[in-house]
Amino acid sequence: MILNSLNLLLSILIATCLVILQETMSNMFWLISVDMPVTFGVFVSTYFSNLLLMNGGGAIPIVVLIAVGFLIAYTVAKILLIWINVSKANAYALAGAAAIMAIVLLMPLAFYNLDVLAGGRSILGKTILVFFGLVSGYYFGKSLEKQRV
């Protein structure tokens, strides 16, 4: 039980770090496109600054938003696994992807049709974010499969 909680927390942290990485990269690419000087040091310092500020400086921390989405999606996946015979890794990977997709698609509805995550404004950005949810969900499902063996 404690190991499951630790893996859940780690899955949420992986997704949070990847989402913020994509957000930072998107902003840096935009700055480069308007001929702003962006060095690797600026990128790294901005990434770590975003990690802190996006999880503690705003009204709703990204980590809490992702945690709520994952808890709902993982609970639905656990219930569906009772009736559907599919590997846990695949089920939780789809659940993680669905959670991030829901966050990316529903956030504009809460903020007057404004995409709060700059990395999710394009189709490519949304696809990358959903892929990151898939990766962290796969990690969680794979960790559950390893415990049973």
pLDDT in tens, 61-96: 889 999 999 999 999 999 999 999 999 999 999 999
Phi, then psi, of 39 in degrees rounded to 5:
-100, 170
Residue entry with tokens 């991030």 = 100
Entry pTM: 0.88
| Cα atoms in the 13 Å half-sphere on the side-chain side of 64 | 8
In the structure encoding, which two tokens stand for residue 102, read together?
Answer: 């829901």
